[in-house]
């Protein structure tokens, strides 16, 4: 065995693997180096072996998961659950703690229901955005999905990690309604209205009676989610996608301050993306086409490229989904609001039902976003710096100035902008590096580590992170001496006393591993 789970003897580990094979079949227990390659983080910002799995097992059903848990409890085997394993930039299918056994749920890939009348789908963990999209298309269902950038990710996994999309349903986590969860002791629960037998309302009302639990099982290690309901948007009569550009870097605070009332009042009811020119450049080419020198691309070169391409510095993209006349009114208000910024441009691409769907703002899953990881050449890797920022021009400027200064210091280009929701923005900035350039890779790691720490002192907390930084970021949520983390730990010890579920996820360690993190800390 190349890697063992912490505090588990090789003898016991082998016994556990045999028991797992009895449950799922030996062809679904993976232990060799070759078989486990796909469970290493392909974009690791440090040594991928730091998060190497000891084995992986692929369950097909709730019953198999219950049996696996029984074995794991007996031998104290840590299980790291993945759905499609495509959480790229955050660790992919790799566990937080080295030696964990990955519980791979990709084979649980049933679309259980898509209810067109009530506008929801019920899916298992292994259902990807591609798969659900195809199901909806093949059945002629008039519902549209909220999609993140990569289409092969899990509908469930993305929502549980609070991933995002670009429609009015763009906060995917908000549209989860009703979950089925297997607890560490094997008990199966259903949340919200699902706690009641024989109801048609499980996926319509989130809360049920008494405390609401859905969010407790998101970004956590308190249970294994095996089904979710997720709301889907009825096909609109028409769409429009507006592209609004702004000439100057210094326009940022005004863009944010103008966008805020539009989002708060829901004149704009979908996600606004504000991106800089390099983000646009990286979507269609690689850096060496423009610059081969050391360090960040000089501002004057970026300005020259923008001029040649006829681009402005910032571009805001907003999609609208509504009746035609409502879209007319929304576009008019948005155009008028942003016109206040001198030199801004406004264009809108319209679509109405009956026209070719390719011209619409309908989200269609793809993998085009992976183009950006080729920006620095070689085997691309990336980490996302994504703190939550108040939708105030002054706050956006603070975090942008910090990031712009630090990326240049470490030899990177500022690639990013702001993703704007109803009452918050996420400053989204990618650090793209060549994995085969050790110096660049180390600089990316050090830059991320530095900027996350510095941002926290300024009041900016990450909304989601790579497995390598879960402890750091959990520690930055530090009100009252990290009272929230301590509550999570108390709950962890109560609901998973053997500490078998995803130790260390989101910085939450079980009692048995809390002190040394499975041997990581001496």
Active site residues: 90, 463-464
Least distance from other proteins to the Cβ atom of residue 131, Å = 9
Residue 118 and residue 199 in contact, taking contact as beta carbons nearer than 8 Å: no
Q: Select 125 or 510, whichever has its Cβ closest to other proteins.
A: 125
Stretch that binds other proteins, among 176-184, 202-210, 300-308, 369-377 (CB under 8 A): 369-377
Judged by CB under 8 A, does residue 201 bind other proteins? no
Query: Is residue 371 a contact point for other proteins (CB under 8 A)?
Result: yes
Looking up tokens 């309908």, which residue turns up? 362
Please identify which residue in 130, 133, 351, 420 interacts with other proteins, judged by CB under 8 A.
Answer: 130
Choosing from 1, 112, 368, 487, the residue that interacts with other proteins (CB under 8 A) is 368
Q: How far is the CB of 286 from other proteins (least distance, A)?
A: 8
Segment contacting other proteins by CB under 8 A, of 87-95, 186-194, 401-409, 497-505: 87-95
258 binding other proteins? (CB under 8 A) = no
Which segment (13-21, 36-44, 254-262, 447-455) binds other proteins by CB under 8 A? 36-44
50 binds other proteins (CB under 8 A): no
If the CB atoms of residues 165 and 194 are measured against other proteins, the closer one turns out to be: 165
CB of 104 to other proteins, least distance (A): 5
Please identify, using beta-carbon distances, which residue of 39 and 463 lies nearer to other proteins.
Answer: 39
Which letter does DSSP use for residue 266 in this model? T
| Shorter beta-carbon distance to other proteins: residue 109 or 425 | 109
Taking CB under 8 A as the criterion, the residue among 18, 22, 33, 137 binding other proteins is 33
The answer to whether 54 touches 13, Cβ cutoff 8 Å, is: yes
- Among residues 42 and 170, whose Cβ is nearest to other proteins? 42
Angle between the 252-264 and 393-409 helix axes, to the nearest 10 degrees?
130
The piece of 30-38, 181-189, 306-314, 509-517 that touches other proteins (CB under 8 A) is 30-38
Q: Which of 258, 268, 262 is nearest to 326 (CA)?
A: 268
Q: In 269-313, which ranges are continuous DSSP H helix?
A: 277-282, 299-309
> Cα separation of 341 and 339, whole Å?
5
- Is 37 among the residues that bind other proteins (CB under 8 A)? yes
**What is the 3 state secondary structure string of 403-421?**
HHHHHHHCCCCCCEEEEEC
When binding is defined by CB under 8 A, the residue of 104, 214, 315, 498 that contacts other proteins is: 104
Does 380 help bind other proteins (rule: CB under 8 A)? Answer: yes
Beta bridge partners of 143: 234
23 binds other proteins (CB under 8 A): no
Distance (Å, whole) CA 470 – CA 199:
38
- 492 touching other proteins, by CB under 8 A: no
Ranges of H-type helices in 93-172: 129-138, 155-160
CA-closest candidate to residue 203, choices 195, 193, 213: 193
Show the beta-strand stretches assigned E in 15-78: 29-30, 55-58
Long-range Cβ contact pairs of 327-333 (< 8 A, separation 24 or more): 327/238, 327/239, 327/240, 330/240, 330/267, 330/268, 331/240, 331/242, 333/262, 333/267
Cβ count within 10 A of residue 428:
20
* Secondary structure letter of residue 166 according to DSSP: S
Q: Does 345 bind other proteins (CB under 8 A)?
A: no
Closest CA to 443 of 473, 416, 407: 407
376 forms part of the interface with other proteins (CB under 8 A):
no
The C-alpha atoms of residue 4 and residue 55 are separated, in whole angstroms, by 9
Is 363 a binder of other proteins (CB under 8 A)? no
What DSSP string runs through 116-129? TTTTEEEE-TT-BH
With CA atoms as reference, report the closest residue to 242 among 129, 166, 308, 309.
166
Q: Whose structure tokens read 């969860």?
A: 181
- Residue from 10, 34, 358, 481 touching other proteins (CB under 8 A): that is 34
Q: Which is nearer to other proteins, 378 or 411 (CB)?
A: 378
Tokens of 36: 């486990």
State in angstroms the smallest separation of the CB of 370 from other proteins. 5
Q: Per CB under 8 A, does 30 bind other proteins?
A: yes
**Distance, CA of 395 to CA of 91 (rounded, Å):** 29
Q: Does 378 participate in binding other proteins (rule CB under 8 A)?
A: yes
298-317 mask for other proteins (x: CB under 8 A)?
--------------------
Q: How far is the CB of 287 from other proteins (least distance, A)?
A: 13
Which range in 244-252, 347-355, 377-385, 388-396 contacts other proteins by CB under 8 A?
377-385
Site residues, other proteins (CB under 8 A): 28, 30, 33-35, 37-39, 42, 56, 58, 84-85, 88, 92-93, 104, 106-107, 126, 130, 151-152, 286, 365-368, 370-371, 373-374, 378-380
């Amino acid at each position: 065995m190349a890697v063992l789970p912490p505090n588990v003897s090789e003898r016991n580990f082998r016994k556990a693997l045999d028991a797992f094979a009895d449950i799922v079949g030996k062809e679904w227990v993976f232990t060799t180096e070759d078989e486990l390659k796909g469970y290493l983080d392909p974009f690791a910002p440090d040594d991928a072996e730091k998060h190497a799995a000891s084995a992986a097992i692929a369950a097909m059903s709730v019953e198999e998961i219950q049996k696996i848990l029984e074995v794991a409890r007996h031998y104290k085997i840590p299980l790291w659950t993945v759905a499609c394993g495509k959480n790229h930039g955050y660790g992919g299918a790799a566990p937080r703690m080295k030696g964990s056994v990955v519980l791979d749920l990709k084979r649980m890939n049933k679309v259980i229901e898509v209810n067109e009348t009530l506008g929801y789908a019920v899916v298992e963990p292994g259902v990807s955005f591609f798969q659900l999209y195809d199901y909806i298309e093949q059945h002629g269902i008039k519902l549209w999905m909220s999609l993140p950038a990569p289409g092969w990710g899990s509908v469930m996994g993305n929502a549980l990690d609070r991933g995002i999309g670009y429609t009015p349903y763009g906060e995917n986590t908000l549209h989860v309604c009703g979950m089925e969860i297997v607890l560490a002791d094997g008990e199966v629960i259903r949340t919200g209205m699902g706690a009641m037998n024989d109801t048609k309302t499980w996926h319509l009302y989130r809360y049920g009676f008494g405390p609401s639990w859905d969010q407790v099982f998101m970004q956590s290690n308190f249970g294994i989610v095996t089904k979710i309901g997720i709301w889907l948007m009825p096909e609109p009569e028409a769409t429009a996608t507006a592209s609004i550009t702004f000439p100057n870097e210094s326009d940022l605070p005004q863009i944010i301050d103008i966008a805020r009332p539009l989002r708060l009042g829901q004149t704009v009811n979908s996600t606004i993306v504000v991106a800089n020119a390099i983000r646009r450049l990286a979507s269609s080419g690689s850096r060496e086409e423009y610059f081969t020198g050391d360090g960040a691309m000089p501002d004057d070169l970026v300005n020259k490229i923008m001029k040649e391409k006829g681009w402005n510095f910032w571009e805001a993209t907003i999609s609208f989904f509504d009746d035609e006349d409502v879209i007319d009114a929304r576009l008019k208000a948005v155009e008028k609001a942003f016109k206040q910024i001198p030199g801004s441009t406004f264009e809108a691409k319209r679509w109405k039902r009956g026209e070719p769907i390719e011209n619409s703002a309908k989200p269609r899953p793809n993998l085009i976003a992976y183009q950006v990881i080729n920006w620095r050449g070689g085997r691309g890797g990336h980490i996302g710096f994504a703190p939550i920022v108040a939708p105030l021009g002054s706050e956006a400027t603070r975090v942008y100035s910090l990031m712009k200064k630090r990326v240049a210091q470490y030899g990177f280009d500022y690639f990013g902008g702001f993703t704007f929701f109803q009452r918050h923005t996420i400053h989204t900035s990618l650090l793209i590096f060549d994995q085969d350039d050790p110096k660049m890779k180390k600089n990316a790691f050090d830059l991320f580590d530095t900027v996350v720490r510095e941002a926290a002192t300024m009041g900016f907390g990450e909304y989601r992170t790579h497995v390598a930084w879960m402890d750091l970021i959990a520690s930055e949520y530090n009100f009252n001496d990290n009272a929230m983390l301590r509550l999570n730990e108390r709950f962890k010890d109560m609901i998973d006393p053997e500490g078998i579920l995803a130790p260390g996820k989101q910085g939450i360690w079980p009692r048995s591993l809390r002190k040394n993190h499975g041997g990581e800390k001496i």
